[in-house]
């Protein structure tokens, strides 16, 4: 399976004065979805970092369709779109709990870098797990 889904309850701290989720929190939820998808495949960020690799965001796109509100349950659906020698692209859909409405859609591209910040090929062991 190329996708995963994570449930998140909107907390008060993630909303503005109107009880609507502040726009940058959706980006945080993208990260939660992405890290959980990778974890399901056996790629743990902390372990990857201990090997000397990081996956910083080099591109981000986000389209807000409908607001999420305080105490609402949202579903963050994450999918690996493609992998290249030194990058990975993820797509995201944030749904309402019943999956009737897409609230936000987006994508991120991540480059693989070493400890010196140089773009490098994604190690084969990581690439195999991501593409499983």
Query: Which residues are designated catalytic?
Result: 16
d(CA 53, CA 113): 6
User: Going along the chain, which residue ranges are E strands?
Assistant: 3-9, 57-64, 73-83, 87-96, 102-111
Nearest in space to 78 (alpha carbons), one of 41, 114, 115: 41
**3-state secondary structure (DSSP) of residue 130:** helix
């Amino acid at each position: 399976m190329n996708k995963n889904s994570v449930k998140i309850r909107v907390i008060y701290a993630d909303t503005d004065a109107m009880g609507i989720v502040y726009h940058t929190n959706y980006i945080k939820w993208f990260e939660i979805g992405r890290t959980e998808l990778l974890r399901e495949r056996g790629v743990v960020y902390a372990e990857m970092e201990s090997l000397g690799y990081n996956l910083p965001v080099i591109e981000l796109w986000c389209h807000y369709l409908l607001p999420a509100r305080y105490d609402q349950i949202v579903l963050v659906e994450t999918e690996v779109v493609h992998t290249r020698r030194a990058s990975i692209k993820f797509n995201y859909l944030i749904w309402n709990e019943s999956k009737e409405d897409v609230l936000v859609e987006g994508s991120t591209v991540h480059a693989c870098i070493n400890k010196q910040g140089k773009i490098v090929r994604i190690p084969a062991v990581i690439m195999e797990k991501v593409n499983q």
